[in-house]
Amino acid sequence: MSDRPTFDLLAEDPSGARRGRLHLLRGTVETPAFMPVGTQATVKAVTPEELVGLGAEIILSNTYHLYLRPGHELIRELGGLHRFMHWDRPILTDSGGFQVFSLAGLRTIDEGGVTFQSHLDGSRHRLTPEGVVAIQEALGSDVMMVLDECPAHPSPRDYLERSLALTNRWALRSLAARSRPDLALFAILQGGAELDLRRRAAQELGAHPFDGFAVGGLSVGEGQEVMLETLSATTPHMPREKPRYLMGVGTPLDIVEAVGLGVDLFDCVLPTRTARNGMLFTSQGPVAIKHARFGRDPRPLDEACDCYTCRNFSRAYLRHLYKSREILASRLNTLHNLHFYLGLMRRIRTAVESGTYAGFLRDFRAAAASWGEGGHRMD
Amino acid sequence: MSDRPTFDLLAEDPSGARRGRLHLLRGTVETPAFMPVGTQATVKAVTPEELVGLGAEIILSNTYHLYLRPGHELIRELGGLHRFMHWDRPILTDSGGFQVFSLAGLRTIDEGGVTFQSHLDGSRHRLTPEGVVAIQEALGSDVMMVLDECPAHPSPRDYLERSLALTNRWALRSLAARSRPDLALFAILQGGAELDLRRRAAQELGAHPFDGFAVGGLSVGEGQEVMLETLSATTPHMPREKPRYLMGVGTPLDIVEAVGLGVDLFDCVLPTRTARNGMLFTSQGPVAIKHARFGRDPRPLDEACDCYTCRNFSRAYLRHLYKSREILASRLNTLHNLHFYLGLMRRIRTAVESGTYAGFLRDFRAAAASWGEGGHRMD
């Protein structure tokens, strides 16, 4: 607990990887950290107690979704998002920018904000930078994100340039609108794949007293190579003493690479969504549990794993549950995949602490290459 | 644990209710007992550890479904059903008769058995009384059920009479086919709503050394009055020293009434299925959590309940999860409803032990009447 959010940079590995500690209103987060995604005030298929058991120190929820349903005023009345969902550790809320700008054709943007139609019922709504901060303060988010415009990839240079300028103006309005200094506010750096725009975003926003900085607008179809190139042109210009968050990323290899470029925080639906689709991360690479070869296999999913699923159930049973569309399939698979991701973050932190991250990264790349492109081929 | 299944009749209440203890290969079951239904080798939405925490001492699984998928030979290879699903307490398996006879148009019956098409892929299969015992022995069921014909309601008298004779011949063939005396085998009494046929079933089958007797073919649309009338014409003719199982029943009131008629065991999908549909049993009657009046309600679902759901979440949150179609809705609702059912059984056992069941039944009827017909009106 602390009155104001702070970040301790504990160690920097020669590779560029960082080991840190983020102090937020509801608790401390050891970084590099992965935030399981709980879009609708629940990390799909798991309880808060299970998340604690898995070692999650912070989760992500979504302003856009909670604003529409059940509504931030309702959540405020009920004591805030933590109490509503029975999770007492930190929560970061995405601003809704990404979701609103995904509603192509259903939204119009102007200097003041964005007007859009709900994906739920078509009702019209308007979000402004100030309004989005107010919503997140109503929710009681430990980390609030500014409203930004997230351009599609690819977008023309002149569009990206104008969009970035707007996003940066919105970020400063958000900072001015904040009324609760105990809740962190992170800016979001945009600029598409234009490296000079990314640098400009980092420099312009980095001059202001945000509590952290996110790299947005990546992992939107540009491919891993462009993503890492963009990231490596951005992080050197970001404030060293503030946490860095790469939004919506990614595969295990994406995360390992991005840590090497100095990123501290990650979120992604990948481990939870793929779990529900029967795609499981293992020490031997990712697998699709539906495959017939698992049908009579009495072994645990990952013989090197000590999660609840691997301690108690066979591949044959997991395949049976998945084929039978049982809810327990989603539960057991989600527990396993989150255990994999959160365990990976622990291994990453240990490697950074011991100054051996370059070797860790090299070994991980080699292993991922043996699994296939992107480290999540589902063979 | 015991080498052979046994049943201790501990107490009989003046009302007719019985308090007993059923000793099975994998453990002891205090009766009257409710068996949560785990059709496909999982009680939907909950883990085995959660079932233990709820106080479940026995669950039901389904021969028909497991025979088709993943197959009983596969389960045998993997060490039996208990190991497959990570549940080490007793399991009763329904024989599949009810499921096969629900496949109207997809099955033909003869003296030897029944031929049917799979509801999964249309493949042709044949089940015989002997084969069904062999399947359940492969599964390692603590309580096996005989293959029976379960006639639709209503059926003509002459059909019911011929069907009953066949079911009884099959029951004796099942008894002869059993090779594992450590696994209990229960007969199933049929006869539709013909009271003399029910009596005949009880008397004919009661003369043979089954480990227990089930009343089948009820709760198939005949209504509660006919069900209880049929039951009250049957149980007095069933062996006093053997456990009595009313298959597929029912609402809380159905169970409370049937205990008063001398029934010891129950199973029903009602608490788990209605949970997934947002219908929740409470001390104040059943409720549909989707209703708008719960939208801003900070109270626990049932203020008199100490289940995990009621200890940690509000009505507003449960409604939000349900409206958002979140998996956690099914989980929390299932935990609550099973807690309600298993708690009801504990209260029933206490009332029978103390010889006060008549009063308990009277009070429960009055409460249920105030909730509406059948005790499960979802207002």
CA pair distance A196, A199, nearest whole angstrom: 5
Give residue B378's pLDDT band: very low, low, confident or very high (50, 70, 90): very low
CA pair distance A154, B55, nearest whole angstrom: 57
pLDDT reported for residue A51: 98
String of DSSP letters for B160-206: HHHHHHHHHHHHHHHHHH---TTSEEEEEE--TT-HHHHHHHHHHHH
Give residue B103's pLDDT band: very low, low, confident or very high (50, 70, 90): confident
**Cβ-count burial of A165 within 10 angstroms (0-12 exposed, 13-18 middle, 19+ buried)?**
middle
Catalytic residue annotation of A: 94, 267
Cα angle at A86 between A81 and A87, to 5 degrees? 75
Distance between A133 CA and the closest CA of chain B, angstroms: 23
Task: Determine the number of helices (DSSP H) and then strands (DSSP E) in chain A.
Answer: 15, 16
Whether residues B330 and A327 touch (CB distance < 8 A) is answered with yes
The residue length of chain A stands at: 379
Cα angle at A269 between A267 and A275, to 5 degrees? 130
Q: Does A257 or B3 have the greater pLDDT score?
A: A257
Distance between B70 CA and the closest CA of chain A, angstroms: 6
Task: Give yes or no for A77 touching B (CB within 8 A).
Answer: yes
Q: Please report, as a single letter, which amino acid is at residue A362.
A: R
Task: Give yes or no for A317 touching B (CB within 8 A).
Answer: yes
pLDDT in tens, A191-234: 999 999 999 999 999 999 999 999 999 999 999 999 999 999 99
pLDDT in tens, A352-368: 999 999 999 999 999 99
Decide: A368 and A224 in contact? Cβ < 8 Å.
no
Task: Give yes or no for B52 touching A (CB within 8 A).
Answer: no
Decide: A161 and A198 in contact? Cβ < 8 Å.
no
String of DSSP letters for A63-75: HHHHHHTT-HHHH
Please state whether A251 falls in left (phi above 0), alpha (psi between -120 and 50) or beta. beta
Q: Please report, as a single letter, which amino acid is at residue A141.
A: S
Chain B hits for A84, CB-CB cut-off 8 Å, are: 314, 316-317, 320
B14's CB contacts (< 8 A; 6+ apart) are: B355, B357, B358
pLDDT reported for residue A379: 36
Average pLDDT, chain A: 95
Chain B hits for A70, CB-CB cut-off 8 Å, are: 295, 316, 319-320, 323
Query: For residue B1, is pLDDT > 60?
Result: no
pLDDT in tens, A127-136: 999 999 999 9
pLDDT reported for residue B104: 75
pLDDT reported for residue A6: 98
Q: Which of B94, B142, B148, B211 is catalytic?
A: B94
Task: Give yes or no for A71 touching B (CB within 8 A).
Answer: no
CA pair distance A34, A376, nearest whole angstrom: 17
Distance between B85 CA and the closest CA of chain A, angstroms: 7
Query: Which tokens hold the place of A230?
Result: 């963009």
Nearest to B312 among A46, A86, A314 (CB): A86
Please give the helix or strand (H or E) that residue B73 lies within, else none.
helix B72-77
Nearest to B42 among A85, A312, A328 (CB): A328
CA pair distance B65, B76, nearest whole angstrom: 15
pLDDT in tens, A161-186: 999 999 999 999 999 999 999 999 99
Nearest to A316 among B70, B298, B319 (CB): B70
Task: Give yes or no for A309 touching B (CB within 8 A).
Answer: no
Average pLDDT, chain B: 95
pLDDT reported for residue B96: 87
A373's CB contacts (< 8 A; 6+ apart) are: none
The residue length of chain B stands at: 379
Distance between A342 CA and the closest CA of chain B, angstroms: 21
Distance between B76 CA and the closest CA of chain A, angstroms: 11
Task: Give yes or no for A2 touching B (CB within 8 A).
Answer: no
Cα dihedral sign, B294-B299-B304-B308: positive
Give residue A150's pLDDT band: very low, low, confident or very high (50, 70, 90): very high
Cα dihedral sign, B353-B356-B358-B359: negative
Q: From start to end of chain A, where are the E strands? A: 6-12, 18-24, 27-31, 33-35, 59-62, 91-94, 107-109, 114-117, 124-127, 143-145, 184-189, 212-215, 244-246, 265-267, 279-280, 287-288
Task: Give yes or no for A84 touching B (CB within 8 A).
Answer: yes
Please give the helix or strand (H or E) that residue B19 lies within, else none.
strand B18-24
Closest CA to B35 of B84, B115, B114, B90: B90
pLDDT in tens, B355-377: 999 999 999 999 999 986 444 44
Distance between A43 CA and the closest CA of chain B, angstroms: 9
CA pair distance A277, B332, nearest whole angstrom: 22
B contact test, residue of A327, A330, A332, A336 with most B CBs within 10 A? A327
Give residue B98's pLDDT band: very low, low, confident or very high (50, 70, 90): confident
String of DSSP letters for A283-303: TT--EETTSGGGTT--S-S-T
Task: Give yes or no for A268 touching B (CB within 8 A).
Answer: no
Give residue B276's pLDDT band: very low, low, confident or very high (50, 70, 90): very high
pLDDT reported for residue B372: 66
Query: Which tokens hold the place of A303?
Result: 């013989």
Whether residues A45 and B324 touch (CB distance < 8 A) is answered with no
Collapse the DSSP code of A27 into the 3-class scheme (helix H, G, I; strand E, B; otherwise coil) and give the result. Answer: strand
pLDDT in tens, A332-343: 999 999 999 999
User: What is the average pLDDT across B50-59?
Assistant: 98
Chain B hits for A120, CB-CB cut-off 8 Å, are: none
User: What is the average pLDDT across B76-89?
Assistant: 98
Query: For residue A96, is pLDDT > 60?
Result: yes
Nearest to A327 among B45, B74, B78 (CB): B45
Question: What secondary structure letter does DSSP report for A12?
Answer: E
Whether residues B323 and A69 touch (CB distance < 8 A) is answered with yes
Task: Give yes or no for A296 touching B (CB within 8 A).
Answer: yes
Closest CA to A151 of A206, A205, A218: A218
End-to-end CA distance of chain A: 44
Tell how strand A6-12 and strand A18-24 pair up: antiparallel
CA pair distance B76, B64, nearest whole angstrom: 15
B contact test, residue of A326, A330, A332 with most B CBs within 10 A? A326
Neighbour count for residue A296 (Cβ, 10 Å): 16
Of chain B, the percentage scoring pLDDT greater than 70 comes to: 97
pLDDT in tens, A137-147: 999 999 999 99
Task: Give yes or no for B317 touching A (CB within 8 A).
Answer: yes
B contact test, residue of A66, A77, A331 with most B CBs within 10 A? A331
B113's CB contacts (< 8 A; 6+ apart) are: B126, B127, B128, B129, B131, B147
pLDDT reported for residue B296: 97
Whether residues B327 and A323 touch (CB distance < 8 A) is answered with no
CA pair distance A362, A344, nearest whole angstrom: 15
pLDDT reported for residue B375: 43
pLDDT in tens, B4-43: 999 999 999 999 999 999 999 999 999 999 999 999 999 9
Task: Give yes or no for A112 touching B (CB within 8 A).
Answer: no
Query: For residue B156, is pLDDT > 70?
Result: yes
pLDDT reported for residue B170: 98
User: What is the average pLDDT across A96-117?
Assistant: 89
User: What is the average pLDDT across B325-350?
Assistant: 98
